[in-house]
Amino acid sequence: MPSRLVLVALGSVPRALLGDIGSALTQVYGPPVEVGPPQQRPSYAFNKDRNQYHSTAILRRLGQLRVEAAAPPVLGVTDVDIFIPDAPFVFGEADRDSRTAVVSLSRLAHGTDKKPAEPERVKRRAQVESVHELGHLLGLSHCQDAHCAMFLSHKPSDSDRKGPGLCGACRTALGLT
């Protein structure tokens, strides 16, 4: 387990929401979370054909924030819609090698009816998916327990069903029990 974690806003992400995400990460994993300097919206990752942002390009840029190998993991939080080439969208992506991850609020901020979700619901979804992506950075894979944060979400309601924490098996895998 790293001694600390770094959380970075990429674009228009409320600082209070970053604090809420940081609190959830510390509660689940233990280390304190520091909020790094905010970054601009990741225009360098924009794909005009898809009208979305390529998450892998964002991870490469976040990796540049880790100037030394011993630097803590970095989790970026953005308000733009992100994708990987073989999926229509992703809520987040993590790269264990670079120890960076990104979570997008774009689709988490809406319901299945495309209407904006209530702020408390968006906050909880952002916390759950941030715990999920950091879990990948720490070595966890997807979990079959639908209430574990490591369960794969395909739609915002999947995030609503998941708990903000890890199941016993995932906690044991990380040595947290």
Residues 28-40 have pLDDT tens digits of 999 999 999 999 9
CB 25 within 8 A of CB 7: yes
Catalytic residue among 93, 118, 120, 133: 133
pLDDT of residue 169: 96
Indicate if the pLDDT at residue 128 is higher than 70: yes
Average pLDDT over residues 154-170: 92
pLDDT of residue 66: 78
Average pLDDT over residues 77-96: 95
pLDDT of residue 113: 66
Would you call 133 a catalytic residue per the annotation?
A: yes
pTM value is 0.94
- H-helix segments, the chain: 15-29, 55-63, 119-137, 156-161, 168-173
Q: What sign for the dihedral angle of Cα 18, 22, 24, 29?
A: positive
pLDDT exceeding 90 applies to what percent of the chain?
Answer: 82
CA distance linking residue 94 with residue 102, whole number of Å: 6
Indicate if the pLDDT at residue 64 is higher than 90: no
Instruction: Give the model confidence (pLDDT) of 87-103 as tens digits.
Output: 999 999 999 999 999 99
Number of Cα atoms under 13 Å in the Cβ half of residue 153: 31
CB 54 within 8 A of CB 10: no
Side-by-side strand order, sheet with 46-47: 46-47, 52-54, 82-83
Indicate if the pLDDT at residue 80 is higher than 70: yes
CA distance linking residue 97 with residue 5, whole number of Å: 16
Indicate if the pLDDT at residue 67 is higher than 80: no
Give me 103's structure tokens.
Answer: 């979570």
Domains and CATH numbers, the chain: 5-173 (3.40.390.10)
Indicate if the pLDDT at residue 70 is higher than 90: no
CB 130 within 8 A of CB 25: yes
pLDDT of residue 144: 96
